[in-house]
Amino acid sequence: MNSNNLFLKISISLILLLIISCDDSNSTETSNPKSDLDYLFINELQADNETGITDESGNFEDWIEIFNSSDSTISLGGLYLSDNNDEWVFPFSDSTVIPPNGFLIIWTDKDDIEGVLHTNFKLSKSGEKVTLYSIENNIKNIIDEVIFDSLGTDKSYGRVTDGNTEMKVFDKPSPGQSNNSQIE
Minimum Å gap between C-beta 69 and Ca ion is 13
Does 55 sit near Ca ion (CB under 5 A)? yes
Q: Which positions from 156 to 175 touch Ca ion by CB under 5 A, shown as an x/- string? A: ------------------x-
In this complex, which beta carbon is closest to Ca ion, that of residue 33 or of residue 115?
A: 115
Minimum Å gap between C-beta 30 and Ca ion is 28
Whole-angstrom distance, CA of residue 81 vs CA of residue 88: 5
Total residues at interface with Ca ion (CB under 5 A): 13
Task: Give the residue, chosen from 90, 109, 143, 163, that forms a contact with Ca ion under the rule CB under 5 A.
Answer: 109
Best CA proximity match to 93, nearest among 79, 107, 108, 109: 79
Does 112 sit near Ca ion (CB under 5 A)? no
Task: Give the residue, chosen from 37, 39, 40, 44, that forms a contact with Ca ion under the rule CB under 5 A.
Answer: 44
Burial of 67-103, coded b for 16+ CB within 10 Å and e otherwise, reads bbbbebebbbeebbbbbeeeebbbeeeeebbbeeeeb
In this complex, which beta carbon is closest to Ca ion, that of residue 33 or of residue 127?
A: 127
Q: Give, rounded to a whole angstrom, the gap between the first and last alpha carbons of the chain.
A: 80
Does 144 sit near Ca ion (CB under 5 A)? no
In this complex, which beta carbon is closest to Ca ion, that of residue 48 or of residue 55?
A: 55
In this complex, which beta carbon is closest to Ca ion, that of residue 37 or of residue 163?
A: 163
Does 124 sit near Ca ion (CB under 5 A)? yes
Task: Give the residue, chosen from 36, 87, 111, 154, that forms a contact with Ca ion under the rule CB under 5 A.
Answer: 111
Does 179 sit near Ca ion (CB under 5 A)? yes
Please report, as ranges, the residues that interact with Ca ion according to CB under 5 A.
44, 55, 57, 59, 61, 65, 83, 109, 111, 121, 124, 174, 179
